[in-house]
Amino acid sequence: MFNFFKRKGSGLRIGDTAPDFEAETTQGKIKFHEWLGDSYALLFSHPKDFTPVCSTELSRTAALKPEFDKRNTKIMGLSVDSVGDHATWETDIGDVAKHFNGAALNFPLIADNDKKVAQLYGMIHPGELDNLTIRSVFIIAPDKKIKLIMTYPASTGRNFLEILRALDSIQLTAKHKVATPVDWKQGDDCIIVPNLSDDDAKSLFPNGWNTLKSYLRLVPDPSKK
Ligand code: BEZ
């Protein structure tokens, strides 16, 4: 039998409803969907407390929290250790923050020592790390649908500016009939979605567009009107 027939995992995909859970965190017990309310969420996992890369990531994300707040996005981290370990680690995270353009922890960190949430979200990849989580990222919308999944190995710290950039694209494309091109950032030109005919596009984009190909029509970022 091939391995992939035996493989277990959450199998979560973009467009699925993010599973609800109740968990102990550094800010008390949280029911995920209730905590999410009408916000977007960034849910991301770390292999273990007191590990170097994780400490840098958590402090950097804390420094970027005002940017996530501006985007109506709550942040929740996860590590497979206890609330007590998290509390001790929190001090270390604050201590190293200045070296990584970071800040002291200012969002809840799930104490997933029984790995319930990690398993629910498929954050454990035994081929990469035995029994610990890898670096999973989920962006979840207010309707509780998963909008983005990213998976990084334990040895590679993530770029949270890229996560903000992707969040900007997700929030823009939820409101306007556009997609965003390679390396797009807020204010850059966007692409009219391919399934919108030129006739229908005329009413949404009365100032017209720049046609590079019949299927590649550029318009100014519609959120900057
Ligand atoms: C880290 O966070 O530094 C780390 C954790 C597990 C494996 C490699 C690095």
> Is the same domain home to 37 and 71?
yes
Counting atoms of ligand 1 from 1, which one is nearest the CA of 46? 2
Tokens representing 125 are 């990849």
- Region 38-62: mean pLDDT is 97
Q: Flag whether pLDDT at 6 surpasses 90.
A: no
> Is the same domain home to 131 and 215?
no
Residue 30 lies in a domain: yes
154 lines ligand 1 (CB under 6 A): yes
> Is the same domain home to 100 and 209?
no
- Catalytically active residues are 54
pTM for this entry: 0.94
Q: What pLDDT does 8 receive?
A: 54
Q: Flag whether pLDDT at 4 surpasses 70.
A: no
Per-residue pLDDT band for 173 (boundaries 50, 70, 90) equals: very high
Per-residue pLDDT band for 2 (boundaries 50, 70, 90) equals: very low
Q: What pLDDT does 22 receive?
A: 98
Q: Which domain, by its residues, includes 47?
A: 4-159
Q: Flag whether pLDDT at 3 surpasses 60.
A: no
Hey, whose CA ends up nearest to atom 7 of ligand 1?
Answer: 154
Widest CA span in the chain: 61
Strand ranges of the sheet holding 109-111, from the earlier edge strand across to the other edge: 28-31, 22-25, 109-111, 73-79, 40-46, 135-140, 146-152
> Is the same domain home to 40 and 98?
yes
Q: What pLDDT does 213 receive?
A: 98
How far apart CA 78 and CA 47 sit, in angstroms, is: 9
Q: What pLDDT does 9 receive?
A: 56
How far apart CA 127 and CA 220 sit, in angstroms, is: 44
Range list of β-strands (E), 89-152: 109-111, 135-140, 146-152
- Region 144-169: mean pLDDT is 98
* 79-135 pLDDT per residue, tens: 999 999 999 999 999 999 999 999 999 999 999 999 999 999 999 999 999 889 999
Counting atoms of ligand 1 from 1, which one is nearest the CA of 132? 6
* Contact by Cβ (8 Å): 71, 175: no
Here the CATH number for the domain that contains residue 141 is: 3.40.30.10
Residue 96 lies in a domain: yes
- Distance between Cα 74 and ligand 1 center (Å): 25
* Contact by Cβ (8 Å): 169, 141: no
Q: What pLDDT does 219 receive?
A: 98
Pocket-testing residue among 46, 50, 54, 80, ligand 1, by greatest number of atoms within 8 A of Cβ: 54
* 204-224 pLDDT per residue, tens: 999 999 999 999 999 999 998
Hey, whose CA ends up nearest to atom 2 of ligand 1?
Answer: 53
* Contact by Cβ (8 Å): 45, 57: no
Residue 165 lies in a domain: no
Mean pLDDT, the chain, rounded, equals 95
Q: How many domains does the chain have?
A: 2
* 189-205 pLDDT per residue, tens: 999 999 999 999 999 99
- Region 139-159: mean pLDDT is 97
Q: What pLDDT does 1 receive?
A: 43
